[in-house]
Structure 1
Amino acid sequence: MIDATGSGASITRALPSFRFDPPHEVEIEEGPRESVEHVATLLCGSKDEAIESTFVRIAIACLDTTASNLTDTELEVRIDEFAWVFGALRRPARLSVEGLWGQLAIVLWSTNVRLALASWQSNADAIEALDDGKARLHVKVSGPKRREHGVRLEDLTEAPGGRTLLASLVLDEAQGGETVADLHEAILAQVEQDLDARRRLERLVTLGLGEAWRDAAERRFSLRDARRRLRFFDSRDVPGVSWPVPLGVRDVRFVVDLRDTDPLPLAAARTLGAFFRGVLPRLSDRPGPRASPRGLTRPQARGRIR
């Protein structure tokens, strides 16, 4: 139930995945005490525990359930956002599980998690990068024993006055590794009090995974090994196709093999500006042979959904 003023018009929404009832008076019993509150109700349409858990997490992030006395207009806007994000569980994935895992790992390792989340650009074409308009960090993931990545020609371009780097991860599936959900919750633990960051994280993860969310729950990769193998490359050093491309050619995509390309040391990458200092790992975070993932805790959900 969500506190609301009951002002303005609102409509009931009955969908297979959830039901929303506009603000109405509800009698609430808490032990011997009874009260009447003006609330809206949002009910999950599934009995699947995994879906129910996701439902609650997205609702808390999208609806700001710590707020009280929302106007109906404010509530409608938030319900629209919730419906769009929660509905993504039935839509095709925008990213592979490995791709989203890698993106989350970069955010988790970043010096400034809030900056990394705020700069995470994503769209229906699955173009993934941390981008502040000039500086750009593309996250690329490959399987074990190779460092080959699919790129677009645009991935290697630089904005005027900016720089572009590639973060290259090599992932191994590992029985004792971390899932997308583990990384997701570790990031949530670091932005728990920042509603905007939490809302953005839920949108990016849910829209990225889409209907592949069940597959993501079963796949584990070693965060420690991924951090040990993480390399950064200056786009100027990455082999590629040269501009200009022939007239009539667009959306140029190719695979780059970086095994023979010299990486850019982390210390050097961090000198390229405040943006990179914020979204890249700290120098002190270099993992040793027994290093363990930081921040992998399970935060308790907070909010007023009852």
Structure 2
Amino acid sequence: MNQICELFRGLKDNFSELTDSTHVVSLPLSSRFLLGITKIQTPVFFIECELKNYSADLNLEYISVMFNKKCSLIDDSNRKFSKVYTVITLNQSDCDFQNYFLEVVYLILQKIPKKADGVLIKKEIDKILQLFSYTSLPAAKSVQGLWAELLVIEQSESPEYLIKSWHSHANSRFDFNDGKDKLEVKSTSLAKRVHDFSLDQLKPNENSKLIIASVFALETTSGKNINDLRKMIFEKVSNIETQSLMDSIVFKVLGNEISKSLDFYFDYQLAVDELKFFDSGSIPKIENIPAEISNVKFSCDLSNIKSLSKNELKKIDSVLFRGLL
């Protein structure tokens, strides 16, 4: 992933305003894919293809997309040329978000075969559009909550399985659900292990097991942000489809907070050292609630509740839980 960011840094280092053509470099994936730099020094991807059935040009909050656009370009050998491209441009000057954009789009482009036809290319371009369309939606969870879930994935021995079990919708009842067992992640920025629960969250269906992960997420000025955890997870998960799935969930959850989320850093080492897992049955609950009363929520201090050891987790007959630590 660093390769794409280094290519863009090279374009920035050699940037010149003395030409009307856009400076580009070829991507190692295919000569049909180019990376360029705009006049305002933001990244732009050029995908060589003429689409027969294409949408109108789009301007989203963070990106713009132009189809079947004849472009005048200049490569790193000062060779000028013109071809028809689909053009995807980032409209953000923030360096961290530029790197995030570069990595996300590059990941999707890796899925396009060298001899792909226009139909397949359009399908992958639509995935990019769908991702960035989520940025017009309100955030479904706090940055802290998402960071805690990513930390649990990053610390897992089976991160790929956790990603595949991750909620497809941010308002899902449980954060992770593999169709059998459930895992709910709770985070706190307090000095005590106090978390908010709804009564329904502590009541899985009869033949399922539920584990609660407890994460201390203390905001700092120089910890790790969401993109840092993303990169660490991708070092463990090489499957491109799984990586893309994780990116799509992150975009859905963060919505219009995607850019701001990169400004939030949390104490990674504290979170790792204090990561605990609890059997949902050991957590105190409000009992004997009349059937007519619903949506019961409460806070609970887990400081003195016994957590599950690594050996205890591995003894549970559950694929979801065996890889947690």
TM range (shorter): 0.7 to 0.9
Q: Which runs of 5+ in 2 are unaligned?
A: 1-45
Q: 1:179 — aligned with what?
A: 225
Kept in 2: contact 1:94–1:126 (CA 8 A): no
Where does 1:235-250 land on structure 2 (aligned, <5 Å)? 235-242=280-287, 245-247=290-292, 249-250=293-294
Q: CA deviation at 1:106?
A: 0.4
Is 1:251 equivalent to 2:291 in the alignment?
Answer: no
Q: CA deviation at 1:28?
A: 6.6
Distance verdict in 2 for CA 1:194–1:22, change over 3 Å: same
Structure 1 Cα separation of the partners of residues 78 and 226 of structure 2:
44
Kept in 1: contact 2:51–2:67 (CA 8 A): no
Indicate the SS of the match to 1:255: strand
Letter in 1 for 2:283: V
Where does 1:226-237 land on structure 2 (aligned, <5 Å)? 226-237=271-282
Letter in 2 for 1:101: W
Q: Which runs of 5+ in 1 are unaligned?
A: 282-306
Kept in 2: contact 1:122–1:128 (CA 8 A): no
Is 1:270 equivalent to 2:285 in the alignment?
Answer: no
TM-score (norm 1): 0.78
> 1:22 aligned to 67, 91, 95, which one?
67
Structure 2 Cα separation of the partners of residues 47 and 171 of structure 1:
28
Is 1:86 equivalent to 2:94 in the alignment?
Answer: no
Q: CA deviation at 1:146?
A: 1.1
Where does 1:1-306 land on structure 2 (aligned, <5 Å)? 1-4=46-49, 6=50, 8-16=52-60, 17-23=62-68, 31=77, 39-64=85-110, 66-125=112-171, 127-191=173-237, 193-242=238-287, 245-247=290-292, 249-272=293-316, 273-278=318-323, 280-281=324-325
Q: CA deviation at 1:238?
A: 1.1
Distance verdict in 2 for CA 1:73–1:104, change over 3 Å: same
Indicate the SS of the match to 2:223: strand
Distance verdict in 2 for CA 1:165–1:86, change over 3 Å: same
* More RCO (CA 8 Å, sep 6+): 1
Kept in 2: contact 1:2–1:65 (CA 8 A): no
Q: CA deviation at 1:23?
A: 4.5
Distance verdict in 2 for CA 1:45–1:220, change over 3 Å: closer
Q: CA deviation at 1:45?
A: 3.2
CA offset digits 1:235-284 (Å, max 9, x no partner): 1111123477523x333322222123222222101211222112x01xxx
Distance verdict in 2 for CA 1:69–1:8, change over 3 Å: farther
Indicate the SS of the match to 2:212: strand
Letter in 1 for 2:306: D
Letter in 1 for 2:273: R
Structure 1 Cα separation of the partners of residues 74 and 222 of structure 2:
45
Indicate the SS of the match to 1:178: coil
Structure 1 Cα separation of the partners of residues 287 and 109 of structure 2:
47
Identity of aligned residues (%): 21
Q: CA deviation at 1:126?
A: 6.2
TM-score (norm 2): 0.74
Structure 2 Cα separation of the partners of residues 208 and 270 of structure 1:
30
Q: Which moved more, 1:199-208 or 1:236-245?
A: 236-245
Letter in 2 for 1:41: V
Distance verdict in 2 for CA 1:41–1:74, change over 3 Å: same
Structure 1 Cα separation of the partners of residues 92 and 263 of structure 2:
21
Indicate the SS of the match to 1:140: strand
Distance verdict in 2 for CA 1:12–1:51, change over 3 Å: farther
Letter in 2 for 1:97: V
Distance verdict in 2 for CA 1:219–1:47, change over 3 Å: closer
Letter in 2 for 1:200: L
Distance verdict in 2 for CA 1:158–1:243, change over 3 Å: farther
Letter in 2 for 1:205: V
Kept in 1: contact 2:141–2:170 (CA 8 A): no
Structure 1 Cα separation of the partners of residues 197 and 158 of structure 2:
26
Kept in 2: contact 1:134–1:160 (CA 8 A): no
Q: CA deviation at 1:108?
A: 0.4
Structure 2 Cα separation of the partners of residues 227 and 55 of structure 1:
28
Letter in 1 for 2:194: E
Kept in 2: contact 1:58–1:85 (CA 8 A): no
Structure 2 Cα separation of the partners of residues 240 and 76 of structure 1:
51
